[in-house]
Structure 1
Amino acid sequence: MSASEPTSAAQIAKVLDDEGRPVGAGVLVAADLVLTCAHVLGQEQPVEAVTAEFPFLDTGPVRAQVHFWSAPGEPLGKGDLAVLRLDGAVLPPDIQPLGFASDAPVGLQVITYGFPRGYDDGRWTSMRTVGGLPNGLMQLEGSGLDAGYSGGPVFDTESGTLLGIVVAADRERSLGFMRPLASLMETWPHLGTVVIREPMTPPQNTRGGAGARERTQWVSDAPTDDDMLKRAALAKVLATHLRQARADTPDSSFLVHVDGSWGTGKSTLLKLLARELWDDSLVVFFDTWRHVRIEPPWWALLTAVRKAVIAGRPRWRRPWFRVRELFARIHRDGAAQVLSGLLLVGAAVLAGVLFSSGTVTTHGLEPTLKTITAVVGAVGGLWTAGVVVSRYVMWGSARRARSFEESHTDPMNEVAEHIAWLVRHADRPIVVLVEDLDRCNAGYVVNFLDSVQTLLRDVPERWRRPVHCAPSFVVAMDGVWLRCAYEDAYETFKSAVAEPGRPLGYLFLDKLFQLSVPIPRLGTASRDLYFGRLLGTSVAPPSAATAQQVRAELARSSDETEVLETLARADPEVRQAVASQAIERILDADVQDISHHALAKFSRLLHSNPRAMKRFVNTYTVSRAVRVLEGSVVPTDSLALWTLLRIRWPELADHLESRPETIDQIKEGVEARDLPDTLRELAASAELHGVLRAVPGTQLTPEMIRACSGASDDMTPR
């Protein structure tokens, strides 16, 4: 990127005052969110809405609501952040938010764009990064900065990556100050779930030839925001299901299980999901591993939800919200006790006034009565304070939460009621993203999920209104870990409760979650691309013309079968490149209607169970998205039959995934030597064989099972 022809200019915003004059700059960081400095909007209380323009786009003035505002403070860089939410779809669909660099190297040549006095159309200026400061800012060196550049985006001139925003300038000393991503997130933590993070271009080796890497870079094992594996498409599918469940059953939570072993990318998927949900949901990240030693589990979860609800409100409204919360609890649980204490205090005060004014006189007894009055007033005050502290300030720590459980006759009902109150007063529906539960011991896993079931899953009837939805949960953890935790906790009931092909752990999994989502495996094309990017080597992308042709064919597809046929004709590299567009087409409402009609033949195999039917449709839709991301184009009937088998007999499905050749022995009636004893009765049952033969022309072969479960090297089954 050069200063004369910047490639990131379309996302630059110009913030206007009431008279249409530019007062600062901003940058588009999400589909409808613009980042700027709070002092651009005013030093005191913020305005409710402002006008902005995108000078490099022909959009004209657009209105934006002040979504978040933190007042400028001391030292420099503290607070001073505003987030604007654009009204409606005002930008062209091809304009994408900019990615943020996680850090800004020293000595980097950078440019920014602003609107100094006399340049209402804006001007570029170049600078150099000097070094980080103790307050989290990055010092810049350059003579071009002036008033009007505040909030302006700072770009790396070579890669075009967004490094931060300008927050202040010292023109006399030719200095400027930039807030990088880490500093911005300290003021607005939710920014980390909104922006796309991009790595900086690695240094090049000038001795080993042009473009040669000097050495292989160390690679972080932390969850990434860089969607190298195209997981954003799966995140969009999950977001669609959550919104649909919210609309269909707002009174009950929708629980999703993201199933994958350690290191498969569950946390990265949660970050991408948070980005998809940010516009219309209050996203709460909950890391269970950090709280595993804190009892009771509901306290840490309640605290996280409460903090998110409060953080979603402007700072000046938070103290009043806490007061309302306190009075709500008093009104709900202890109005009688507090009222009795206040009456004692009131009676004592009234008696004191009457005695002092001489309205009431009692010869010889006045000193005694005054003493009694003072004692009654003190007792009433202490009684009221004790009730308030013991009942309503008990959740300030885990120890107090345990005391609360022991001192109340029905503590869990009080907790559930208060969570419902928080849900009712949240500005958006709540979605809790739970991670690292598969690092916790079995007891904590069971207790935590039981807390979700009993406290947060349903909205109490007294709070049910159309605009208030029960919280939704997405739990990312290894399914084997989860099943073993419940089987360990309920060891006594394993043999009595288990069903053929559905042991106790699977039954709990089915009871807890409405949807289970497997993490996609890496196909050959995606594996080569991912590993190449880690090594810093170039992998030749597919022909742009070929990929565009396939995208055009996908857009013309009228049903899922045509989408799959288009993908099957494409090379694996092209299939990987267009996977996101293929999933979007499959999720199109018209295409979905036709696909669901094709699945109708399987309803008779679900025993007319409405819950099982919903689970079947949801699981199939997610499985299809996962298979497309893997590069598999397994036929509809085959994937549907496999989905049915997985829902009805999950233990058998897991065994066939690891040993797909067993399916031939089961169909032939031959005793499989590697089949567990718990599955032998099921393998010989007429019910299972009836399902396997239920769809004429569709057979589950070993190769088809590999394709349906994402374990096939050749992802185009024949």
Structure 2
Amino acid sequence: MKDLRESQPQEDVGEGARDDIEPFDRIVLYVDDLDRCRPDQVVNMLEAIHLLLALDLFVVVVAVDSRWLTRALEVHYRDLLVATDGPLRASTPQCYLEKIFQITYALGPMDPQYFGQYVAFLAGAGAEKRKVTQGAPPQATGAPHTVTQRAGAAPAATQTIHAEPKRDAAGTPRATVGPAPQALPAHSVRIDKGEQEFICRLVPLLPTPRIAKRLVNVYRVIKAGKDAAALERFERERRSESCLLMLAILFGQPVVASALLRALHEGTEPFNDREQSFVEAVRKRKALDGEPAYVQEEWARLHATLQGLNVAVTVGECAREPAEVARYSLVSGHDWHTWARPSPSRSGTSSAKAP
């Protein structure tokens, strides 16, 4: 293959014989999502890449979580990749990978400026319409008839529908009365400039672009699931910031997210004072008996991150969101429906002490 490629320009071929073949210097292969494959599939792909790279014709670019590669090699070659022969003779996954990959490049965290542009791109330019219809109108050549709303019904646009009239046994057209297909009302589903700016402030809670995309998509789904009245109430109560913040914690801090959302929903201490600052309540949260050290560290990291964000939301504002957002994650979606209902005394402000 190499000789054929290098000799191609010098070969004396008939005029027009290679008009349909463009000369090339390299074939670049892009491999993605390798970190979603089983260990044996990962190793098979690495072996294939190694064979391709024996030819200078190929350049292979692999986008992958290196931790998955390392672990896959440890599982597949568990009897070979051991460090019992001393540091000089030990065979490690890194040794294996360095024989395949000549250049490795680690991506850094998202830049706030470009993250803002990415959020704007995900949100879309301008307002978006959610259009839901029930089936396509029948294609027929009969005379049109007009359907208008009945008295007392919600306002709806007048529809003109072409329908083929039904006929009796003699073939004579006969009048029929029946419900006409109705289109569900559409309303705007948009992420406005203020919401985009707040999402950009949440960058420290969103470690990867994939998580940022999930947040934007789920937030759009939440808003799209509300009718016009509920959406107007959602915006009037200024729930966008508390909803986006809870989604950012749910997707970006999965170690603590489920416990946090449940505590907010059930109003357990220190999330029972609805007037208290949410950031302060996170600070006051005490470790449970037997709670692993890494979980305690995640709570401390969450508090430090929230302090840096300088978000001014109360416990009560955040407590409106868990029942709705928890179902959108694997870490909380399996048990959110078992959470205890908040008591009336916890649904508002904390009760004052008797004088």
What TM-score does the superposition give when structure 2 sets the normalisation length?
0.35
What TM-score does the superposition give when structure 1 sets the normalisation length?
0.20
Q: Which has the higher contact order (CA 8 A, sep 6+)?
A: 2
Higher strand share: 1
Higher helix share: 1
